[in-house]
A = this chain, B = another copy of it.
Amino acid sequence: MSEEEAESMLLELKEKAELMLDLAYSSVIYDNREIAEEVYELEDYIDNLHYELQKLAIEDSNKGELETNEALAIIQLGNSSEVIADAAREIADVELRDVELHPIIKESLLETEEVILRAIVENQSILNGKKLGEIELATNTGMWVFAIRRGKKWIYGPDKNTTIKEGDVLFVKGPKEGKEHFISITSGKEREI
């Protein structure tokens, strides 16, 4: 069914745009050019996906598989993800132009209700060797892993099958109150999730 194809494209667009936003803020907070560059790369990907989605919505509408109104709604939701991707690029720009943020702003970005954190997985951590889906980190700690740095390699938008390894640098977002619990889990001090 064709509306399923449009729907899965729309969802991918939405999730990628939101990932870009998390990455963009991380690049600014942790002064990291590599992440900012990834935001730019994702934007090219999103531009293309957005184009294909619009094309599909019109084609499906022509074939009578989508009503005009439904095609319109898909296009409008797709546009909004594209706009969010633009916002992410604008944030990554701050990093790429080497505009140094006032320390107070960086600190305060760590004081919002939902914060972005970075933590290293130590050898004795219960996360070491586990798949993200297996430990249900988000459900048990409120923290979402949206990127992992493994040596020189990056994993952007990991999924439930991604295995966490010793030395991984996890980039997560979650409630400010959950920070200490999370750090004690990655450090291995806390052995229960």
On A, residues with C-beta under 8 Å from B are: 3-4, 7-8, 10-11, 14-15, 18, 21, 24, 28, 66, 69-70, 72-74, 76-77, 79-81, 83-84, 86-88, 90-91, 93-94, 99-102, 104-105, 108-109, 111-114, 136, 138-142, 144, 159, 174-175, 177-178, 181
Contacts and interface: CB of A to CB of B under 8 A. Distances in A.
A158 B125 CA distance: 34
Contacts of A8: 108
A102 B140 contact: no
B138 A178 contact: yes
A139 B177 contact: yes
Contact of A69 (B4, B80, B99): B99
B3 A175 contact: no
A87 B84 contact: yes
B138 A105 contact: no
30 contacts: A3-B102, A3-B104, A3-B105, A7-B104, A11-B108, A11-B111, A14-B112, A21-B84, A24-B80, A28-B77, A70-B99, A70-B105, A73-B94, A73-B99, A73-B101, A73-B105, A76-B93, A76-B94, A80-B88, A80-B91, A83-B90, A84-B87, A138-B174, A138-B175, A138-B177, A139-B175, A139-B181, A140-B142, A141-B142, A142-B142
Given A7-B102, A138-B174, 19 more contacts: A4-B104, A7-B104, A28-B77, A69-B99, A70-B99, A70-B101, A72-B99, A73-B99, A73-B101, A76-B90, A77-B91, A80-B88, A80-B91, A83-B83, A113-B159, A138-B177, A139-B142, A139-B181, A142-B142
Contacts of A108: 7-8, 10-11
Interface residues of chain A: helix, strand, loop or mixed (majority): helix
Contacts of A18: 114
